[in-house]
Amino acid sequence: MLVDGKAYRSIWLAADGKTVEIIDQTLLPFQFQVARLASLGDAARAIRDMQVRGAPLIGATAAYGVWLGLLQGTTDAHLRQIADELVACRPTAVNLRWAVERMLSLLLPLPEASRREAALAEAGLICDEDVRTNEAIGQHGSALIEAIWRKKGEQGEVNLLTHCNAGWLATVDWGTALAPVYAAAARGIPVHVWVDETRPRNQGASLTAWELGKAGIDHHLIADNAGGHLMQHGMVDLCIVGSDRTTASGDVCNKIGTYLKALAAHANQVPFYVALPGSTVDWRLRDGLAEIPIEERSQDEVRYMQGEDAGGMVRRLAIAPKQTGAFNPAFDVTPAHLVSGLITERGVCAASLEGLGSLFPEQLHD
């Protein structure tokens, strides 16, 4: 996507051919800064500290992390150690494990001497595939937006609500939930996005609002608590969110607060769609609530907020009494029955085993 006229992906091989560059997402929207990953440790830290985040981008970073790790050694034992270190960085988004397992199954059968080169090529392939996948999600999702616009008599804008950041910053390019928005806008369909701030880390306020602003898409930031009210008053035509892990039965794990939006959407007959690549489906799982590990992050993410003061200084401020403890689950699970449909690179399907199986039949072996 374009940032002030220059095309960017969220991760790329640096010009030196020896390191990887990312956009440091902990600094947005106040500073746009490119950071360099020169080692496995750098890649792991970038994932853990959320300089990169969003399920597909975590996967792509881990793939490059495997390559960077191989620069220190290429034995089977070392490769397995690299994989373990990366997979342990964040527990919920399954794309991390998916990407690392894909790298391992390609690299382990190869002679050690060819592993580095093969790893670099495969990481690049994972990135290119992600871009194509998200473009396809955009095409399928924009058809849904267009249908709503036609139903509204092509009057006004289609009002879409999204939670967290599932835009191009969360993937290699295009995004998942926002890809349909970009595709619809490119086709001349007027779209307006309600952007949930997404406490505690405010990915909506800091990343989604920044992305949409750069792309010239009409949007308003709303407090996380406002969505239900907007839905009750007919101000939301549809919701589209992303996913960090979706079970084969269609339960969707996504950023904390997604479930509450799905409940409000269900109560107000607002269509609630989830956009995700096939790599976000964990085909081993059937019960999202019981089986998906939910990352718990530092209580300080809840107790403090980061922002820019009037003088342009980025500061961290306490918002609670010093002695107050906090609990910070980073994701929740929306049961399949609250999901109107899944928008994938292969089309839109019901959030069910039958629905996903109809699009990905090769995944249903037993």
Residues designated catalytic: 244
Q: CB of residue 62 vs ligand MRU: minimum separation in angstroms?
A: 13
| Residue type at 126 in one-letter notation | I
What 8-state DSSP symbol labels residue 348?
E
What does the binding site for ligand MRU look like in residue numbers (CB under 6 A)? 53-56, 93, 164, 166, 170-171, 175-176, 203, 242-244, 254-255, 330
Q: Give the gyration radius of the chain's Cα atoms.
A: 20
Smaller CB separation from ligand MRU, 69 or 204: 204
CB 130, min distance to ligand MRU, A: 10
Q: Under 8 Å CB-to-CB from 168, ≥6 apart: which residues?
A: 1, 9, 10, 134, 174, 175, 178, 182, 211
The residue at minimum Cβ distance from ligand MRU is 242
| 85/211 with CB nearer ligand MRU | 211
Cα–Cα distance, 226 to 205 (Å, whole number): 14
Q: In the bound complex, what is the minimum distance in angstroms from residue 64's beta carbon to ligand MRU?
A: 17
Distance between CA atoms of residues 12 and 88, nearest Å: 23
Q: What is the DSSP letter of 198?
A: -
CA distance linking residue 344 with residue 366, whole number of Å: 22
Nearer to ligand MRU, 74 or 334 (CB): 334
Cα dihedral 181, 183, 186, 192, rounded to 10, equals -10
By beta-carbon proximity to ligand MRU, the closer residue of 92 and 340 is 92
- The first and second tokens of residue 165, run together, are 């950041």
Least CB distance to ligand MRU at residue 316 (A)? 18
Q: Least CB distance from residue 258 to ligand MRU, whole Å? A: 8
DSSP 279-345: GGEETT-S-HHHHSPPPB--THHHHEEEEE-TTS-EEEEE-S-TT-----B-EEEE-GGG-SEEEET
Closer by beta carbon to ligand MRU, 169 or else 264: 169
